[in-house]
Every structure is written in C-alpha cells, then in structure tokens.
Structure 1
C-alpha cells in the first residue's frame, strides 16, 4: 500500500476541491499556460516547416539547383548534358538561355527574366509543367515565337492566351536609321502559377527562339542540373567545374535563394527558443502551486509520516501532483496544436475569402498562402521539453514537503 501511496494521494490532491481557491486558480493558470505554450509552439513550427517545404518544392523546383556555363558558350551541349547526368547526385539536365528583358503592351511595361528552354528536356529539372494554368510547354515551338508567362506577370500586363506582347532586351541594334533597342513580338501561349514570387518575374520561350534573339547561333547559355539532394549543390558544382576545366564556371541555388532558406531556418530556431520560454514560465508556475499546496497540507504530511510514509514517498506525492497538472496541460496543448497545424491553411483561406483580403502577397512573401506541415518528431521534442520543465518544477516543492517534521506540525493540532 505504501508503495502506491505517492500515486494515490498525488492524484487525489489533483482531483480534490481546495479550501484555498487561490491555489486552484494558480493550478488552472499553470495548466492553461502549458497548454497555450505547447499548442502555439506546435503551430508555429508547423508553419515554419511549411515555409521550408514550399521553398524547396516550389521555388527551388523552378530555379536550378546548379548551373554550368562556359565563357565561350556551350555548342555541343547534348553530349555534355548526357555526361553530367551520369555523375553521382545528378538526376536531370536541361539547356537554357537566359535573357533579362521588359515586356510591353498598350503602355504597360514589366521587367522579367525570360528563360529559353527545350520543352522535351525541361521537365527533368523543373516543376513548371505541373503548374501550367493555361496552355502547355509543348506549345513552345521553334520559330513560332510563343511565350509562357507567370500568372502575376500576365495579370500586371493585362494579357491572356493568344495576346501578343513585345519583349525589349537591353542590347542595341544598329540600323541605317540609328541605334534602337532590340525587340521582338511574342504570342502568349500559356500561363503558369506556382504561388510564388516567380509568377511575377519569370517567362519561358523556346530555346531556339531565344538563341536567335540573343544571337548565340547554335550555342546555349548553359546547362541546368537537378540534384537528388539540393544541400550538396555547392560541392557538386565545384567538383564539376574542377573536372571540366577553367573555361567553365558554375553556380548553385544558394547564390539566388540561399539567404532566404537560411533566414527561415534561423527564424524557426529563434521562434522555438522564445516559445519554449513561454512553456518554461507556465511550468515554473507549478512551483508556486505546489509550494502553497505543501503549506496547506502540512497536517496531512505529518499524519502520513507518522503512519510510516518515508520522505521519498512524500516527495513522490507532490511530484505526481505536479506532473499530473502538467501532463493535462501538455495533452490538451498537443491536441489543440495538432488540430490547428492541420487546419490553419484552410482557416486562413476561409478568413481571406470572408473578408476579401490577402494576408500573404506572393511578391513580398514568396508564396501566396500560409503553408503548414506537421512533423511528429517536432511534437515529440516539444512534449519532451515541456515534460522535463514540468518535472524540474516539482522538485523543490516536493523536497520542502519531505522536510516537514511531524512533531513540529502536530504539536499545535
């Protein structure tokens, strides 16, 4: 019976109504604080995981993991692409021609990066084919001067499929009439949308058309590579350049979007640290609760000691009570946090539709909706941290309870 004493009495103290309502209020506050801290931490980490996942799949699915270029241009690119695909870590390759320019129509002007691509190769290195809203990459045929625009870019220009736009490139053409900027009329054959800032500043045309516009002849601007692990892009790029020789140069995704990824990782760690402080504050409120309970139950402690309870058993009683309060808060917090993490995207979407507003502008935040991705290992770490802080919070009050001397208490009873 005495072996089970800490559990029986500790749980009874949790259920029992107390004469001191202030103690009950502090207990409830501690439990609610733990619940709120755990729930918010699960939700915030899930959202940060969502941003991280969207960055990898959407933005880094559109931009090259690695680019290999030559100072003299790549003419026999097919053989080089086949050679690079055989390398370890490389799972796809595609040629490209990049051209910065400005689209113009009816007095509207928007700058964009125009990628000359080969439709048959592009799906190896990009997810663009999966996000075509209208039209298809197969509509990009050499000599037809078709172009695929991002949805935001098309909206800013006020164009749709079938409309014609003029592309001005920052290179001059010398004619008998003088020096004029180089320009070409394109027909909009498709519109894509990935829900990121790339929708506002990216367009695609056939690589042969862009070779003609850039006056490259048979050469291409470079080869884009898709890797099985984007985090080894730097090392893979360096190895390829070293093997190919000094006439080649390479760059990877960290040059264009590495700072954003690092910022998300840093924010995730800092937010987790700050929200853990909230859990710690709520957990250490249990110290106040149990200290007051020990003072209130001094007579009970003295009686238990006189019938044979050891100091260790007395400590166990208040550790069990504190852990029971903490675990209730943690359990409810996990339930609320998981539900919110799984539904926050739909909730935000419903609020945006109801109020007619948009919380995330893709031109500012890289994506247009609030992503959430629940990782159960994060939940496990949060529960372990909250449980550990709760356990530490019970030690001092339990130690004080174990030091209560029955003779001192019962002398005046």
Structure 2
C-alpha cells in the first residue's frame, strides 16, 4: 500500500502531465469541493428554517385545536383539560375563544383575528416566552388589555397604552342585519411573531372575550401543544373522538403545514441536485485518470516488467483518483461548515452592504437567514462524495492494469 501511495503521488504531481489533463484534474477537485460546500450550506439553511418553524411559528399557532360547534362553547372544558394533561405527549392545554372582527383606531380600520387567552393557563406556554415580561404583566393585570401583532400596530399607528375599539359581528336567527358588538380595550403591548401573522393577530383576556362573544361555557375550545408537533394530527383526533359533544378538530398541519412541506420539498431537491453536481465532478475524475493512463503507458509497462502486479497498478490509479476526491471533499466540507455556522452574521453583513433585506418579515415568517449544522448531514455529504469518487476510479484503474508491457513499450 505504501508503494501504491508513493507511485500515485508521483504520477499525480508529475511534470510530464499535459496542461489539459492538469486542468481536468483541478476542475474535478474543485467540483467535488463546491458540491460538498453548497450541499452543507443549503441543508443547514433548511434545518434552520425547520427549527424556526417549530420554535417561533408553532409557539403561537397551536399544535392542535378542539372547539365546540355550539356557540355556547365547550362543555366542562376544565375537566377535559385536566384529563388531556395526563397524556405524557402533551405539553400544555389552554382554553381559548376566537373571533374575527375589525379593530378601529381613530378613523382607521383593520381586520384582525382576536384570540381570548387566560393568563392562568398561558403564563408558562411558548407564547409567553415571546412576550416581554412587562407586557405580560400589564396584560395579566388589565382585564381590558389587548396585545397586538406588530404589523397591526404599524398599520394603524397604535402605541402601547392607547385605547382601541374592537368591532365584532353579531349573528341573528332571522339573518337580519344587526350592528356589531363594540368593546373598548387598552393596548398592553406589541408582539413580533414574524410573517403574515403579525398583520392580523391579537390577544385579549379570555373572560372578556367570552362575555363579548356570548360564550356561556366561558371558552370556545381548547388549544393543545405537544412535545412532538408531528404527533398533532393523530393525537388531536384521538382526544376529540373521546369528547361527548359535537366538535371541530384541527391541527397546525392543516393551517401552516404547507410551510413544512415546502421546506421538505426544497430539502429533497437540494439533495438530488447537489448529489448530481458531486457525481458530475466525480466523472471528471474518470476523464483525468483515463488521460493519465494514456500518458503513463510507458511507466506502467516498465513497472510491470519489474514485477508490479495488476493489483498494485489498480491501487495506484484508485489512490490517485481518491486524492483528488479527498482534497475536494475536505476543502468543501470544512468551508461549508464554517460558512453555515456563521450564515446569519454573513447575511446581515450582506444586507448592510447592499442596503436591502434578503428575507422580508412581511412575506416570510422570519426576517433573517437561520442555519443549523447537523453532524450527521456533514458525515452523509462526505460519505456520498467519497463513494462517488471511488466508483469513478474503478474503470480507469482496471484499464491501466490491462495494459500489456510489450505493446505499450513498442509505442
């Protein structure tokens, strides 16, 4: 093996190699490295989006919801909440009331979805972690308080402490037009969630919401959070089927599942496309080795006349190809991990340089580039590069081993 490595290194760095062969060799190395680099960076970016989806968006959007068909609300919701909390997969359960209405400030109106929450049940959930402590304290102490999404407050020009009017539609049995219910509320604070949610979401006290909406049971339904959000569809349906009341059931995959599906689709496309890039670069190694074999026929013939076996000749060219692949893979993996680990800071620097945002918070659910490097994906990328490189060396190496000394020396 030491002799094969020595010969491979000598062949690779031989000054007799023609310029075109050297160019193909360098391009194959760069191609493998570039493929590994881009694959690691993009996979880390997808991991970051997935993490932010779970930690940020799903902290506000409930994993599962059960709400009553009856306008009177969910019967005996406190007992139902206590029983569901016995399940170890459940993180929290909280009652809520929800309605769509219009928020009026001065002469301006904005359509919003207002959710009534109880501080008693919500103070330890993920939403409270996104709200500043002083804002949460004002909300808990003020029965007339409301927390607005950042987009709503900017659209209407509302500041903390100002009073706003909430208009809620009223349904009538005879379908006649009735004036909306009106309630005055005080803005306790502003919350920034990210994306479209900031433009239409608001939170008020559950008791106040139930009174205004006429919910006799005190809560329209319950919101559930799970340790694993991907259990939401199965678990929510299971809990709902055990309730002896007509219910609607929903989970986050129905309302925001397209975001997760988009991330997974992009991840799959990235896997396929960049694996093909690495494969193309690996096939350049085939060209490099074939040209090298043609140029080194005389040296191969001399080695065989000196007693070199076909196995030794095969190993020489396999190792020569592996050197190109390993150099490219190591360079690509190290640079990919370095860039992916600092991608958010790099994106901020680019934004400052060009004076524009890469991601707009008005469109996406976050306004920065997240990145999470996973060791298993780095190992996977390196392994794929090495496997493709090894496969690329087999044909040229076997061709070199089949060279006959007599015919090669005659040429």
TM-fit CA distance, 1:144: 3.6
The 3-state SS of whatever aligns with 1:167 is strand
Separation in structure 1 between the aligned mates of residue 88 and residue 231 of structure 2, nearest angstrom:
11
Separation in structure 2 between the aligned mates of residue 411 and residue 70 of structure 1, nearest angstrom:
92
The 3-state SS of whatever aligns with 2:66 is strand
Closer, same or farther in 2 for the Cα pair 1:245/1:75, shift >3 Å? closer
Separation in structure 2 between the aligned mates of residue 264 and residue 326 of structure 1, nearest angstrom:
30
Closer, same or farther in 2 for the Cα pair 1:21/1:78, shift >3 Å? same
Closer, same or farther in 2 for the Cα pair 1:399/1:33, shift >3 Å? same
Separation in structure 1 between the aligned mates of residue 95 and residue 264 of structure 2, nearest angstrom:
32
2:34 is matched with which residue?
A: 36
Alpha carbons 1:85, 1:93 under 8 Å: kept: yes
The 3-state SS of whatever aligns with 1:244 is coil
Q: Output one character per residue of 1:252-274: Cα deviation in whole Å (capped at 9) or x when no partner.
A: 11111112211211111112111
Alpha carbons 1:37, 1:278 under 8 Å: kept: yes
Separation in structure 2 between the aligned mates of residue 117 and residue 184 of structure 1, nearest angstrom:
16
2:6 is matched with which residue?
A: 8
1:355 is matched with which residue?
A: 354
2:154 is matched with which residue?
A: 155
Are positions 1:120 and 2:117 aligned together? no
What pairs up with 1:77-88 in 2 under 5 angstroms?
77-88=77-88
Structure 1 stretches of 4+ moved >6 Å: none
TM-fit CA distance, 1:185: 2.1
Closer, same or farther in 2 for the Cα pair 1:275/1:287, shift >3 Å? same
2:315 is matched with which residue?
A: 316
How high is the TM-score relative to the length of structure 2? Answer: 0.94
1:339 is matched with which residue?
A: 338
Compare 71-80 and 97-106 and name the one that shifted more.
71-80
The root-mean-square deviation of aligned C-alpha atoms, in Å, is 2.0
Alpha carbons 1:95, 1:223 under 8 Å: kept: yes
Separation in structure 2 between the aligned mates of residue 146 and residue 99 of structure 1, nearest angstrom:
16
Question: Any stretches of 5+ residues in structure 1 without a counterpart?
Answer: none
Separation in structure 1 between the aligned mates of residue 58 and residue 100 of structure 2, nearest angstrom:
20
2:391 is matched with which residue?
A: 392
Q: 1:21 pairs with 16, 19, 22, which one?
A: 19
TM-fit CA distance, 1:180: 2.1
Are positions 1:92 and 2:92 aligned together? yes
1:71 is matched with which residue?
A: 69
TM-fit CA distance, 1:293: 0.5
1:294 is matched with which residue?
A: 293
1:108 is matched with which residue?
A: 108
Compare 312-321 and 184-193 and name the one that shifted more.
184-193
TM-fit CA distance, 1:143: 6.8
Are positions 1:52 and 2:54 aligned together? no
Separation in structure 2 between the aligned mates of residue 102 and residue 322 of structure 1, nearest angstrom:
68
Separation in structure 2 between the aligned mates of residue 59 and residue 188 of structure 1, nearest angstrom:
22
TM-fit CA distance, 1:222: 0.6
Closer, same or farther in 2 for the Cα pair 1:31/1:149, shift >3 Å? same
TM-fit CA distance, 1:245: 3.0
Compare 127-136 and 281-290 and name the one that shifted more.
127-136
Alpha carbons 1:172, 1:180 under 8 Å: kept: no
TM-fit CA distance, 1:404: 0.7
Separation in structure 1 between the aligned mates of residue 17 and residue 85 of structure 2, nearest angstrom:
76
Separation in structure 2 between the aligned mates of residue 144 and residue 238 of structure 1, nearest angstrom:
33
Alpha carbons 1:164, 1:185 under 8 Å: kept: yes
TM-fit CA distance, 1:134: 7.7
How high is the TM-score relative to the length of structure 1? Answer: 0.93
Separation in structure 2 between the aligned mates of residue 165 and residue 357 of structure 1, nearest angstrom:
34
Paired residues in the alignment total 406
Q: Output one character per residue of 1:69-114: Cα deviation in whole Å (capped at 9) or x when no partner.
A: 2333224322221111012412211110111122222333322211
1:226 is matched with which residue?
A: 225
Closer, same or farther in 2 for the Cα pair 1:233/1:179, shift >3 Å? closer
What pairs up with 1:175-194 in 2 under 5 angstroms?
179-194=178-193
Closer, same or farther in 2 for the Cα pair 1:170/1:358, shift >3 Å? farther
The 3-state SS of whatever aligns with 1:363 is coil
Alpha carbons 1:134, 1:161 under 8 Å: kept: no
Compare 194-203 and 380-389 and name the one that shifted more.
194-203
Separation in structure 2 between the aligned mates of residue 386 and residue 246 of structure 1, nearest angstrom:
57
What pairs up with 1:192-231 in 2 under 5 angstroms?
192-231=191-230
The 3-state SS of whatever aligns with 2:264 is helix
